[in-house]
Structure 1
């Protein structure tokens, strides 16, 4: 098994949406619907718009396992409008958007490889702060995943309809 990380772009939007849909299907199968609900995210105009904006404004990376797209994330210069209520970090940062692993190709470390790649890209850009936010409800496994990849909890927040969120940061 080999993991190759490549740059992505607008042509990858259907692949990214497919990964997000596989995550929703996996979460629903576990009875964990608090994060993204029960319907495919590709059917949500708001999500499609958000993914498209992230891809067009940020740097997209796709991890492929043996040539098959397995995970994705986008790096941007800020958390974007949905987290505008958070205090700015007071220094340049890179912010991770839309990290998702295709659950049909899980267990190969593609997500962790992308997080390590994002840290390296951030460091090479002369920036020492990498941040991400995520769903902090249910069993907290997602927050734990980021912590296992070198991130530490910073701000907690409540999103729309009481959605529990956690911002995490990593120094690179």
Structure 2
């Protein structure tokens, strides 16, 4: 059984002032993954400017915590052609789900996923989609435990992604 959240997890749009914290969280998780043999993100593959641009585009959303600051974040998208291809049925997509390791097991990830699913329902889409590397069985199991089902795979030159989907209807 996971611990209760430290404080209620309120998801809010990231602001320009959050870009550096989002980038730092990403880098800390990349380093943690390497140290623990988890294959998901390549250290340093996401430049700060990309995060700044995505925040400015309204893609990033965050959960703040009085003790750790940025407790979690995700990117919410309404299309994801590189992973899912063109002409898909309407869906909400999540990329970059991150939780500060000090808040792992406190419900922050679930709160972010619940919020993203609610955004999809409010927009009238019937599907919630995300992906993880095929080499990351722990993250895949987390998503399947949430209710996602594996529906495919997309192969890129340097990695393969498992595609997962959840029916929102």
- TM-score > 0.5, shorter chain as reference: yes
Instruction: Kindly report which structure 2 residues correspond to 1:100-139, keeping only aligned pairs within 5 A, or say none.
Output: 100-138=98-136
Change in Cα spacing, 1:130 to 1:124, as seen in structure 2 (3 Å) is: same
Corresponding residue to 1:155 among 148, 152, 155: 152
**Secondary structure of 2:151 counterpart:** strand
Contact 2:13–2:58 (8 Å) recurs in 1:
no
> What is residue 12 of structure 1 aligned with on the other side?
18
> What is residue 72 of structure 1 aligned with on the other side?
73
Q: Structure 2 stretches of 5 or more lacking a match?
A: 1-5
**Secondary structure of 2:10 counterpart:** strand
> What is residue 167 of structure 2 aligned with on the other side?
171
* Alpha-carbon distance, 1:110 to partner: 0.5
* Alpha-carbon distance, 1:72 to partner: 0.4
TM-score by length of 2: 0.82
Question: Following superposition, which runs of at least 4 residues in structure 1 exceed 4 angstroms of deviation?
Answer: none
Kindly tell me the number of residue pairs found equivalent between the two proteins.
Answer: 161
> What is residue 96 of structure 1 aligned with on the other side?
94
Contact 2:91–2:126 (8 Å) recurs in 1:
yes
Q: Structure 1 stretches of 5 or more lacking a match?
A: none
RMSD: 2.1
Instruction: Kindly report which structure 2 residues correspond to 1:35-50, keeping only aligned pairs within 5 A, or say none.
Output: 35-37=40-42, 39=43, 41=44, 44=45, 46-50=46-50
Quote the Cα distance in structure 2 between the aligned partners of 1:64 and 1:97.
Answer: 18
